[in-house]
């Protein structure tokens, strides 16, 4: 400390702390006596102070902060032109340092008065004065100074907030400009002014800063439409959001004056003022044009896939028809020849596999598209198990497996589609048979568990690795042990099991201890409460057997299929006639007068649908039963046949049992027969 400085202080955590410096009083005391007296008075009052013998030393201390300055009248004129005056003039806007001037008794001179006016916040204290008056004046000055410091702190804090706000605004602007989606902002509740970020301007082919409002006075170069109809301005997403509505994911087309269109996805939310009233809105707009094109392309590819599968099924079924017909003929005519019977059984097994593959291909396509509906009824589980075992027994026996079936004696009933339930169980049995080495064991168990039907198929087969357990139900996937080839099939059997189970409100899971340790598939379905409805077999539904010489007209452009079917019908006791075109069939009708027409659909020239419609138009043939026998077996194919007047729709190659059941219905009066889907 220099020689011009005298310090009086009280105990404080830190004499150099900013808080202490800002609360101190700087005293200009030319004499030691003045300094000692002032220090004594202020210290007893609890006021920190520092005394200086000259103005320059006091000015040096001002730079580090002060609560007030106390100095005698004699120093006023000196301070007017000194460093002290320059300090006061350079104060920031919030600062007005209190100055306490100790004046001599009497009137203040003109020069001193002018100097006091120039110095600013001056309080004149006339000497001599009471100690209490001096302390009160000093404390008042310090309180005024503290309020100035509070204003300073508030200004500093506000400046920091404003700086952070400016940074946030800048960051938000950068974010908006770099976002890959468009952002629109309505700046008023009426949405008369709407601006967008760079991406929004690009999407709507506008310049940055353009008013994009449909509610404004200036017409825009595009129309906003939904399903080809322009949306009124007050019904647009931003306008609705500005009224307080929250709008999410609306698909809207932007149609430009040049005829081009972009598909957009728009969402909008309201902006609120301090009173909670909507003051505008903010919206997001995303270009969905490429996504929509991709979606349309996928739909088109899916449609083409379905068409391809339908054509493939048709083309595969056509050659299978004469093969199966010929096999049925061999079975009917070679009952006594064991070799011929055995060969016929093997060939029929292979034909059945081909038919099953074709049916599964179409089935999984329909299920994937959600184009399948369940025909639910109360089904006794034991009966479904028997039918599934019968459908799978040839594959199981061919591999020499041992099948153990465990079904409880108490009847269990489920609300299910009986055909689909049979398919679920049979597919699990077939899967176990294919993936179990010859001579293995397959166990089919049925039980009730807490209101659910549990069907379990366990085998001693190749097993499944843990990481592949969740993949076994994927379409076209065959999980094979390392180094082994596929076991046949297309890898869709388990996919069908999963999809059909889920359609019934159930679930299926796969379990395995690992490679070579077998596997187990468990299906869980809700149990029903109703008793099963009795279902009569087709043969039992017929009133009598086939009449001798019952006439059947076979119409098919595939000569092998038509001729082999006619031969098979002859073996079953029918009088069959073959025609290979639609016009020939119509010409034969009044001459041959059949009871049943088995009609192919996809014939050249005149289709089977047209032939069927023409037959139905002639009342003389009202009693004739018309059945489609075709390679086209999709649901829409059956619907077209029904609309064309067909009584039934069968797919090639027709099974012998189905053919026998169909012939058995011919004795039933036509008036009592209702069209069936086949």
Structure tokens at 520: 């187990």
The Cα 232–Cα 220 span in angstroms is 14
The pLDDT tens digits of the residues spanning 379-426 come to 999 999 998 898 888 889 888 999 999 999 888 999 998 888 988 999
Q: How far apart are CA 213 and CA 234, in angstroms?
A: 11
DSSP per-residue letters across 339-372: HHHHHHHHHHHHHHHHHHHHHHHHHHHHHHTT--
Terminal-to-terminal C-alpha distance of the chain: 114
Which residues, given as ranges, of the chain have pLDDT below 50?
A: 1-3, 5-14, 481-488, 530-545, 668-678
What residue has token string 């030319």?
30
Overall residue count recorded for the chain in this entry: 678
Burial of 186 (0-12, 13-18, 19+ CB in 10 A): buried
If we measure between CA atoms, which residue out of 428, 506, 505, 503 comes closest to residue 472? 428
Helix H or strand E encompassing 587: helix 582-592
Measure the CA–CA gap between 482 and 298, rounded to whole angstroms: 34
What pairing do the DSSP bridges indicate for beta strands 25-28 and 49-52?
Answer: parallel
Angle at 93 between CA 89 and CA 99, to 5 degrees: 55
* 645/609 Cα distance (integer angstroms): 8
Instruction: Return d(Cα 70, Cα 205) in angstroms, integer.
Output: 71
Q: How many CB atoms lie within 10 A of CB 428?
A: 27
Phi then psi for 447, rounded to 5 degrees? -155, 170
In the numeric block, the tokens 């009342």 are attached to: 619
CB within 8 A of 392, min separation 6: which ones?
426, 429, 430, 433
User: Coil, strand or helix: which one is 532?
Assistant: coil
Cα separations in angstroms, 61 against 10, 16, 51, 148, 346: 18, 12, 10, 19, 115
Report CA-CA distances (Å) from 562 to 319, 322, 358, 657, 663: 11, 8, 21, 18, 17
What is the reported pLDDT for 673?
38
pLDDT of 370:
62
Residue 94: exposure state from Cβ atoms within 10 A (0-12, 13-18, ≥19) = middle
Q: Say how far apart CA 513 and CA 187 lie, in whole Å.
A: 65
pLDDT in tens, 291-344: 888 888 888 887 787 777 777 777 777 777 787 777 777 777 776 777 777 777
Strands 596-599 vs 550-555: parallel, antiparallel or unpaired: parallel
Q: Which of 17, 20, 24 is nearest to 98 (CA)?
A: 24
Bond prior to 574 in cis (omega within 30° of 0): no
pLDDT of residue 535: 44
Output the six-digit token pair for 351.
């034909």
HSE-up (13 A, CA, CB side) for residue 90: 9
The structure's pTM equals: 0.46
**Are 63 and 21 a contacting pair, CB within 8 Å?**
no
Instruction: Give residue 514's region: left, alpha or beta (phi > 0; psi -120 to 50).
Output: left
- The token duo for 172 is 């938000």
Residue 322 to residue 120: CA distance in whole angstroms: 119
CA distances from 572 to 313, 569, 589 (A): 28, 5, 22
By the 8 A CB rule, do 39 and 49 touch? yes
Strand 278-287 and strand 182-186: pairing? antiparallel
Nearest to 351 by CA among 325, 390, 380, 370: 325
Question: Helix H segments across 284-443?
Answer: 289-333, 338-368, 381-398, 418-434
Write down the pLDDT at residue 187: 94
Both tokens of 644, joined, read 């064309």
Write the CB contacts of 291 (distance below 8 Å, at least 6 apart in sequence).
263
The whole-angstrom separation of Cα 124 and Cα 71 is: 10
The predicted structure's pLDDT at residue 79: 60
Whole-angstrom CA distances from 543 to 134, 538, 570, 655, 665 are 130, 10, 21, 22, 8
Phi/psi of residue 193, nearest 5 degrees: -130, 115
CA distances 355 to 190, 197, 397, 567, Å, are 67, 60, 20, 22
Q: How far is CA 445 from CA 401, 463, 517, in A?
A: 16, 19, 19
Residue bearing tokens 């959001």: 241
Which helix (H) or strand (E) is 131 found in, with range?
helix 131-178
**Structure tokens, 273:** 């003022």
Q: Which of 507, 502, 406, 516 is nearest to 459 (CA)?
A: 516
CB atoms within 10 A of CB 526: 13
């Amino acid at each position: 400390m220099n020689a011009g400085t005298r310090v009086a202080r009280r105990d404080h955590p830190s004499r150099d702390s900013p808080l202490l410096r800002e609360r101190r009083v700087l005293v200009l005391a030319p004499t030691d006596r003045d300094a000692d007296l002032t220090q004594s008075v202020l210290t007893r009052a609890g006021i920190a102070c520092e005394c200086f013998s000259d103005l320059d030393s006091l000015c040096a201390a001002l730079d580090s902060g002060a609560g007030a300055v106390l100095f005698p009248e004699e120093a006023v004129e000196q301070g007017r032109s000194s460093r002290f005056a320059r300090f006061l003039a350079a104060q920031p806007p919030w600062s007005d340092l209190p100055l306490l001037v100790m004046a001599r008794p009497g009137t203040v001179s003109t020069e001193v008065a002018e100097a006091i006016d120039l110095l600013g916040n001056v309080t004149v204290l006339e000497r001599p004065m009471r100690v209490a008056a001096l302390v009160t004046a000093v404390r008042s000055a310090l309180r005024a100074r503290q309020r100035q410091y509070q204003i300073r702190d508030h200004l500093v804090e506000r400046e920091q907030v404003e700086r952070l706000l400016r940074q946030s605004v800048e960051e938000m602007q950068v974010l908006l400009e770099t976002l890959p989606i468009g952002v629109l902002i309505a700046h008023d509740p009426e949405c008369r002014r709407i601006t967008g970020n760079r991406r929004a301007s690009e999407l709507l082919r506008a310049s940055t800063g353009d008013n994009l409002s449909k509610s404004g006075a200036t017409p825009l170069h595009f129309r906003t439409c939904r399903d080809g109809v322009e949306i009124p301005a007050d019904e647009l997403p931003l306008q609705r959001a500005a009224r307080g509505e929250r709008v999410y994911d609306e698909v809207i087309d932007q149609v430009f004056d040049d005829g081009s269109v972009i598909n957009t996805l728009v969402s909008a939310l309201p902006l609120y003022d301090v009173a909670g009233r909507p003051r505008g809105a903010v919206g997001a707009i995303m270009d969905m044009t490429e996504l929509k094109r991709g979606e349309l392309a996928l739909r088109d590819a899916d449609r083409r896939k379905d068409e391809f599968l339908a054509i493939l099924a048709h083309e595969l079924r056509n050659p299978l028809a004469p093969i199966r017909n010929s096999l049925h003929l061999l079975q009917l005519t070679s009952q006594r020849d064991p070799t011929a019977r055995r060969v016929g059984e093997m060939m029929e097994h292979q034909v059945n596999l081909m038919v099953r593959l074709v049916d599964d291909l179409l089935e999984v396509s329909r299920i994937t598209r959600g184009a399948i509906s369940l025909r639910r009824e109360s089904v006794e589980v034991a009966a479904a198990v028997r039918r599934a075992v019968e459908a799978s027994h040839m594959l199981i026996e061919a591999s020499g497996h041992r099948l153990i079936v465990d079904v409880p004696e108490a009847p269990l009933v489920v609300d299910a589609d009986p055909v689909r339930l049979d398919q679920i169980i049979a597919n699990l049995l077939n899967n176990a048979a294919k993936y179990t080495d010859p001579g293995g064991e397959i166990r089919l168990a049925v039980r009730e568990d807490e209101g659910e039907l549990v069907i379990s198929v366990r085998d001693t087969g190749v097993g499944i690795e843990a990481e592949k357990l969740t993949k076994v139900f994927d379409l076209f996937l065959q999980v094979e042990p390392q180094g082994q080839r596929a076991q046949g099939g297309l890898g869709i059997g388990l996919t069908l099991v999963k999809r059909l189970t889920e359609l019934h409100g159930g679930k299926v899971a796969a379990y395995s201890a690992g490679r070579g340790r077998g596997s187990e598939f468990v299906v869980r379905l809700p149990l029903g409460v109703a008793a099963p409805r009795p279902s009569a077999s087709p043969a039992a539904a017929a009133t009598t057997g086939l009449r001798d010489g019952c006439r059947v007209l076979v119409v098919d452009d595939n000569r092998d299929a038509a001729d082999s079917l006619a031969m098979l019908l002859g073996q079953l006791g029918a009088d069959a006639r073959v025609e290979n075109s639609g016009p020939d069939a119509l010409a034969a009708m009044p001459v041959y007068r059949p009871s049943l027409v088995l009609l192919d659909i996809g014939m050249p020239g005149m289709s089977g649908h047209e032939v069927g419609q023409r037959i139905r138009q002639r009342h003389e043939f009202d009693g004739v039963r018309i059945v489609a026998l075709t390679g086209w077996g999709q649901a829409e194919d059956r619907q077209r046949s029904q609309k064309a007047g067909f009584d039934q729709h069968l797919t090639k190659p027709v099974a012998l049992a189905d053919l026998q059941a169909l012939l058995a219905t011919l004795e039933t009066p036509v008036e009592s027969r209702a069209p069936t889907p086949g």
